[in-house]
Chain A
């Protein structure tokens, strides 16, 4: 999980990339 923490976060959050 630690190795892919950004992917985890992107998959979990509901914001669009424009807002990131």
Chain B
């Protein structure tokens, strides 16, 4: 597929010029920046605010239910920004609403995982959570060490790629517009949109002198992202069995997106 995309960039489809790709890039970057919860400048300001060992211990000693509630709340908040991002991608709102919902349900956590690298401090393996930077051990009360470490590992891998806002924006849009999500009614339309976004990403990488392998490295993260999303759903299902009432009190949007 990637080889085909490279060839496509040399022989663009008849309905897509370099100017089109640059317009797509510009509009998606704008949407991304308008819907990011924190600007890069905000994150730089927060970088040195770490949880103390005492604060970390206090969070570790919270109940699983309390910690799940906090995380569900933060994820729900972040999902609302992803919905806004999707709405501003040219062509997304032209899809039927059934497909818009399928794409968001299937792709919003993957987009959050990409966006997460802005909230990571790769120097000390911490993530911005609840106002300060937290280590993986901070989330012990969730009882999901494997999920947490997989998320951190992916985040560090994405940080190593040093994605620019432009690359992050286009990659997020491409992931959201995955035509292989089950039950899509207009898969071909989604496929065409994704193709253009990937071409725009390829063009942007070439223009900015990125290495040939950067796109391959970005795309190679997709299976890990998918497995993290599946693991999250497994953990949620197990949590729901053990604490049905707490799970029922999670934000309705969270339950809607991650319900079966």
Contacts and interface: CB of A to CB of B under 8 A. Distances in A.
Interface of A: 3-8, 10-11, 16-17, 20
B259 to A, nearest CB: 8
Given A11-B87, A11-B97, A17-B35, A3 B80 contact: no
Contacts of B104: 7
A5 to B, nearest CB: 8
Contacts, number: 36
Contacts of A20: 80
A4 B256 contact: yes
A17 B38 CA distance: 13
A7 B84 contact: no
Q: B35, B101, B252, B257: which has the most chain A beta carbons within 10 Å?
A: B101
Interface of B: 35, 77, 80-81, 83-84, 87, 93, 97, 100-101, 104-105, 252-253, 256-257, 259
Contacts of A10: 80, 83, 253
Q: For chain A, what secondary structure do more than half of its interface residues adopt (helix, strand, loop), or is it mixed?
A: helix
B80 A7 contact: no
Contacts of B83: 7, 10-11, 17
Contacts of A7: 83, 101, 104-105, 253, 256-257
CB-CB nearest 8 A-B residue pairs? A17-B80, A10-B83, A6-B253, A17-B81, A4-B101, A7-B101, A6-B256, A17-B84
A9 to B, nearest CB: 10
A10 to B, nearest CB: 5
